[in-house]
Amino acid sequence: MPYCTLELIILVIIPSLLLAFPLVQVNAFSSFFIHHFNRNRPSHIQQAFFHKHNQKESSLNMYSAATSKIARSSVGKLTPATTSFFLCDIQERFRPLMFNSDTIISTSKYLTSVATSLSIPIIATQQYTKVFGPTVTDCFENGQEGIDLLLQNSYSNDGDDSGDDTTQKLKIFEKKKFSMMTEEVTNYYTNSKGMLGRENVVLFGIEAHICVQQTCLDLIEMGKNVHLVLDCVSSQQGYDREVALKKMENAGAYLTTAQSLAFMLMESADHPNFKEVSKLTVAHMKLPNQFNDSYK
């Protein structure tokens, strides 16, 4: 066989085949060809092949290590100390327009109550409040009075109420950017003392395909673990919501439900706030859930 043809096989075809095989098979496959082409070949051909082989093997090993690291980084568990709640743009102007809006609002109230019970800070945003109005007060226990109370109080590092402002119970930010991750929110979330170590974000609100989706993708790019509450995320059109949820899941977001994450956060019936959260859950389950209608 002419050496030019042999070089073509060694330098082009074989490295391509190496990439096409699964990693375990590549090792055996490449070892066979190294042994075969090491016999009676000019040294410059051997060197060229070994150089190509080592490059491909190095790339495959790096890929394997990277995927293993991703798999180990998070399995979607939540704890109060490592979690924050993000409430996205549930505002009065959108209230009559949203798909399953009644359930979105009642579930928001459940989530903010759970967060308060478990001493988890809430970050809320309002998209151009002058036009779209304030956050729907029904998203919080005791309406506007409850919102004002949360805005005025904070948690200490051990989760008890205190006079310092290291972890404010509720922060509301004005925005025009679609994503919640404005410069102001990002600075608060990444640099505020009370937010340190809170790598898990429970994200809920509207609209799924615009503000929620862009927030989700921004947070994932920041390396955060995003948990989307499916019974508290919506758009004006159901199809927009459906497609957005698929995209966010494919990007790495965890899909969950309000009740599921509430009990994951407690982990055990021995949790000191188990009875309080259970009472909230029972009351919430008595309300209509429009997302359940499709299963009837």
Angle at 77 between CA 126 and CA 121, to 5 degrees: 35
Taking the C-alpha atoms of residue 102 and residue 139, their distance in angstroms, rounded to an integer, is 10
* Residue 275 falls in the annotated catalytic set: no
Catalytic residue among 89, 109, 171, 218: 89
Which of the following is catalytic: 88, 139, 171, 211? 211
104/139 Cα distance (integer angstroms):
9
User: 174 forms bridges with which residues in the sheet?
Assistant: 126
Residue type, 168: Q
Q: Which two tokens stand for residue 183?
A: 């410069």
The residue annotated as part of the active site, out of 109, 175, 216, 224, is 175
Q: Establish whether 175 is a catalytic residue.
A: yes
Token code pair at residue 130: 């002058």
The reply to whether 211 belongs to the active site is yes
DSSP string, 158-175: TSSEESS-SEESEEEEEE
| Alpha carbon distance 198, 81 (integer Å) | 7
- Kindly list the strands in the beta sheet with 83-88, ordered across the sheet, starting from the edge strand earlier in the chain: 170-175, 122-127, 83-88, 200-206, 225-234, 254-256
Report whether 47 contacts 37 (CB < 8 A).
no
Number of helices and strands in the chain (H, E): 12, 9
| Catalytic annotation, residues | 89, 175, 211
